[in-house]
Structure 1
Amino acid sequence: MCRGDDPTCASFAEHRRRFRAKVDETLAPERRAFLRSGFAATGGAAALAAGGLSLVTPALAQTSAARGPARPAYHHLPASAETVHWGYFSRLLKPQAEIASGDIITIEALTHHANDDAERMVAGDPGAESVFLWTKERKGVDRRGAGPMDAPIGAGGGLGVHVCTGPVAVRGAEAGDVLEVRILDVAPRPSANPRFKGLTFGSNAAANWGYHYKDMLTGDRPREVVTIYEIDATGGRDWARAVYSFRWPGVTDPSGVHHAVIDYPGVPVDHTRTTRNYDVLKGFRVPIRPHFGVIGVAPKESDYVNSIPPSYTGGNIDNWRIGKGATLYFPVAVPGALFSVGDPHASQGDSELCGTAIECSLTGTFQLVLHKAADLPGTPLERLDFPMIETAQDWVVHGFSFPNYLRDLGANAQSEIFEKSSVDLAMRDAFRKMRRFLMTAKGLTEDEAVSLMSVAVDFGVTQVVDGNWGVHAVVRKSIFPGPAS
């Protein structure tokens, strides 16, 4: 059904008016307040910086604001078969939206696990139905992964699994710049099935790529188990509950390929062949912290890059701190930056141990601010070459087994990364990045930085399931002297 995004529809104008009115009504309070305050355009960022709360200095905030429009424009990018790229980043992709620095954009993101329970996560949702369409005759989105289109398992080879919406091009962005991404809001995508009104659902797959998979104690070993979780889409409760679980039964997809394990994204599960266990995690409440597992810009090293291993331009970072109120900084590698978001999660623990989080479709509202390379010398963002998170309380540095695996591992990087990662390498990278951050952005000597890291910086395992394993380092802003103390 046309939602105001199909110019060939006979009622295009009316559908577009209704759809935009609905979007505006949903976002109206925050959007109006944001535009009215002028925060996005000028003063807010500078005020944060002046209070010692931001990596963006007052001078950089004013300079970057002057390059953009006086007032930010608002954009909306729905998720559909035409607006997503599945399982890869690419510098060759045509932008689905082009915006100015400082503009605000709402982006819908779908979980690639929606077909684990299509009744709850796909049915009745036109955008999701277009993406997950798969019959013997055609697929809504054919390429799924950075592999060859004629791969026997399916187009793209499943070498990358995440449904990414975008990319969004930022006017004037060039290699060497830094893109600041402010996450203004994150909201669940409600189930469109009338049977589940007011609810949304997510899937957790304890899968073959999980850290636990070859180290199990009981039952059939190894095995893959999928657990479906329920979330209150209205915000009435801040926790998720397990609904049921099932063993992966082995699935033959509509194209006739059998999947004994979970090895290709979006395969529709035939629940006539599953046994549902409704007696799972009874009484347990899982705190939700909605966030985006995949967020970042396009790398320059290859035309098609597997969405699974994270790298210097972000991607599949899988850090639950990437939620509402967080700001991220990415080094720009290609013209336009080509920002995309996907892999939405309702909740995840550090390590994402079994292979996935609660994979749950979300909608995010972002403000994208471009900081030009010429303006960065002398600021904390100078020479930034890795993704970084900033919250009201913390700075978070990301270390990976290989900081830029596409460069570090050469021609076979996208296969070798899955064999060469370790927590030790990721820890070493996180240490080096935090040391550099404290010395360059905060003016500490090396000895001061090392001491501070040992007594006041928390290092944690971000994930051990994404090929390029991650360790994050968290430092609280309150420990620094001055206005932030």
Structure 2
Amino acid sequence: MCQGDDLNCPHFKLHYEKFKEGLDIERRSLLRSGVFAGGGAAALGAFGGLSVVTPALAQASAARQPAERSWHTLSANADTVHWGYFSKTLKPRVEINSGDIVTIETLTHHAGDDLERMVTGDPGAESVFLWTKDKKGVDRRGAGSTDPKVYKKGSGDGQGVHIMTGPVFVRGAEPGDILEVRILDCVPRSCANPQFKGKSFGSNAAANWGFQYNDLLGGAKREVVTIYQLETTGGKNWAEAVYNFQWVPQTDPFGVTHTTIDYPGVPVDHSKTKRNNDVLKGVRLPIRPHFGTLGLAPSEADFVDTIPPSYTGGNIDNWRIGKGATMYYPVAVEGALLSAGDPHASQGDSELCGTAIECSMTGTFQLIVHKKADLGGTPLEQLNYPLLETQTEWLVHGFSFANYLKELGPEAQSAIYSKSSVDLAMRDAFRKMRHFLMTTKGLTEDEAISLMSIGVDFGVTQVVDGNWGVHALVRKDVFSGRA
């Protein structure tokens, strides 16, 4: 269905004008809210009154921005996505100035679990998931080899699975700077199939990489996919299960048989599956839309698997990285090269079975560069990890290895999968929260340790992404009595 993006549609002009009208309404709403202001000043107002961006840093960053700010749109299609990897070598799909806003469409890599509900009728998704015996819309899926003589599962070998839209090049961003990413909105992508009008769908796979896989009752191993639906008309704020099915061997259009879920985007032939429609009856799961994978290109390698998160962000899988939140990332390459993907309708801490409700989303972001020269004496001066800020909380993200690409050497991208542990991630989260409290709040080490024990919540972010994660959360009102 044309949404103002299909030039071949006989009603393209009408659809495009309707799309622009909706975008203008959204723009005016944001302009009235003050979010479109420069620097970090808006964060102090619209985002909660207490921010790691000090007024002086906000002013310095705003002064470096052009007087005119722009709104950009980046659709998701076979020409604008990269599947399964971050790369400093990628050509930017859009270039923006610091302070600009960009709306980015993102697609779930699990749409092949139900093409009828998540791909059919959607030109962008159809171009990405195109796969016949002769070609694939996006051939490379992962950071692995693209040589048919080498790969076994498909180009890229599934060493990385997320469909990433981008990258976005932010002018003026250089290594040593901090990129502030404000998530202004995050909404589910409507199903384009007229049969399911007003709905959006997502997939949850209890997969072979899940924490449960080797600990199932009876000892038998299985992968079970559950399809969920939610409304896009605003009538319901929850998701509910539609059906589930057990994965059975699937042969892709190139003739490769996948006995387990081991390569992204394999189109499921439901004539081979047995659907169970009597699943999770009466269960309403509140949706909390967010981006599981959002981050910048690292500098250590040309092609980096999207699965393990690291110091430039990536697959953090924290459900709090949604509308109203702000992420701060250390910039590793020129232009920062931000990419967004792995959209989720909902997820619990740990993402235990291997996935969330993997559901295509559209996000709107404001990107602000804080230059290294301006960071001295501010809370962001020594930031070398992804930091999350909400209206009421700060969260640091600990991983088994803070920068596994550097710490584990030439074989890092394979070694990480056998070396992760919650213990290591907890230690990293402790060290980062100690650093955060000492540098941003001026606490002594002893004060920070005491506060961490009584006023900081540590939680398991995820145990399925190769580089396991623990987050540490401190509420802003803990410091309400300080000047």
- Superposition TM-score tier, normalisation by shorter sequence: over 0.9
1:18: how far off?
4.8
Aligned residues: 479
Question: What does residue 93 of structure 2 align with?
Answer: 96
What is the rounded CA distance, in whole Å, between the counterparts of 2:43 and 2:367 in structure 1? 15
Question: What does residue 478 of structure 2 align with?
Answer: 479
Question: What does residue 159 of structure 1 align with?
Answer: 159
What is the rounded CA distance, in whole Å, between the counterparts of 2:182 and 2:119 in structure 1? 29
Query: Deviations along 1:380-410, whole A, 9 cap, x unmatched?
Result: 0012111010000000000000000000000
Residues 106-117 of structure 1 aligned to structure 2 (within 5 Å): 106-117=103-114
8 Å contact 1:49–1:57 — kept in the other structure?
no
Q: Per the alignment, in what secondary structure is the counterpart of residue 271 of structure 2? A: helix
8 Å contact 2:35–2:46 — kept in the other structure?
no
Question: What does residue 213 of structure 2 align with?
Answer: 213
Query: Deviations along 1:408-459, whole A, 9 cap, x unmatched?
Result: 0000000000000000000000000000000000000111000000000000
1:303: how far off?
0.2
1:48: how far off?
3.7
The amino acid that maps onto 2:440 is: A
Question: What does residue 22 of structure 2 align with?
Answer: 26
Residues 176-191 of structure 1 aligned to structure 2 (within 5 Å): 176-191=176-191
Q: Alpha carbon RMSD of aligned pairs, Å?
A: 2.0
Quick check: 230-239 or 72-81, which moved more?
230-239
Alpha-carbon distance change, 22 to 10 in structure 1, aligned in 2, over 3 angstroms = closer
Matched, 1:66 2:63: yes
1:64: how far off?
0.6
1:2: how far off?
7.9
What is the rounded CA distance, in whole Å, between the counterparts of 2:5 and 2:107 in structure 1? 18
What is the rounded CA distance, in whole Å, between the counterparts of 1:37 and 1:72 in structure 2? 16
The amino acid that maps onto 1:363 is: T
Question: What does residue 310 of structure 1 align with?
Answer: 309
Matched, 1:127 2:124: yes
Question: What does residue 222 of structure 1 align with?
Answer: 221
8 Å contact 1:210–1:354 — kept in the other structure?
yes
What is the rounded CA distance, in whole Å, between the counterparts of 2:340 and 2:459 in structure 1? 24
1:233: how far off?
1.3
Residues 334-345 of structure 1 aligned to structure 2 (within 5 Å): 334-345=333-344
1:28: how far off?
3.2
Question: What does residue 141 of structure 1 align with?
Answer: 138
What is the rounded CA distance, in whole Å, between the counterparts of 2:159 and 2:368 in structure 1? 31
Q: Per the alignment, in what secondary structure is the counterpart of residue 347 of structure 1? A: coil
Query: Deviations along 1:243-266, whole A, 9 cap, x unmatched?
Result: 000000110000000000000000
What is the rounded CA distance, in whole Å, between the counterparts of 2:469 and 2:230 in structure 1? 28
What is the rounded CA distance, in whole Å, between the counterparts of 1:173 and 1:320 in structure 2? 27
8 Å contact 2:184–2:364 — kept in the other structure?
yes
Alpha-carbon distance change, 244 to 481 in structure 1, aligned in 2, over 3 angstroms = same
Q: Per the alignment, in what secondary structure is the counterpart of residue 374 of structure 1? A: helix
Q: Per the alignment, in what secondary structure is the counterpart of residue 227 of structure 1? A: strand
What is the rounded CA distance, in whole Å, between the counterparts of 2:46 and 2:255 in structure 1? 57
Question: What does residue 301 of structure 1 align with?
Answer: 300
Q: Per the alignment, in what secondary structure is the counterpart of residue 31 of structure 1? A: helix
Matched, 1:466 2:462: no
Question: What does residue 358 of structure 1 align with?
Answer: 357
Give the alignment's TM-score, normalised by structure 2: 0.96
Q: Per the alignment, in what secondary structure is the counterpart of residue 271 of structure 1? A: coil
What is the rounded CA distance, in whole Å, between the counterparts of 1:229 and 1:156 in structure 2? 29
1:39: how far off?
3.8
Alpha-carbon distance change, 316 to 253 in structure 1, aligned in 2, over 3 angstroms = same
1:66: how far off?
1.2
Question: What does residue 286 of structure 2 align with?
Answer: 287
Which runs of 5 or more residues in structure 1 are unaligned?
none
What is the rounded CA distance, in whole Å, between the counterparts of 2:41 and 2:175 in structure 1? 26
8 Å contact 1:38–1:71 — kept in the other structure?
no
Question: What does residue 171 of structure 2 align with?
Answer: 171
8 Å contact 1:45–1:56 — kept in the other structure?
no
8 Å contact 1:72–1:103 — kept in the other structure?
yes
What is the rounded CA distance, in whole Å, between the counterparts of 2:201 and 2:458 in structure 1? 31
Q: Per the alignment, in what secondary structure is the counterpart of residue 22 of structure 1? A: helix
Alpha-carbon distance change, 232 to 10 in structure 1, aligned in 2, over 3 angstroms = closer
8 Å contact 1:52–1:482 — kept in the other structure?
no
8 Å contact 1:202–1:361 — kept in the other structure?
yes
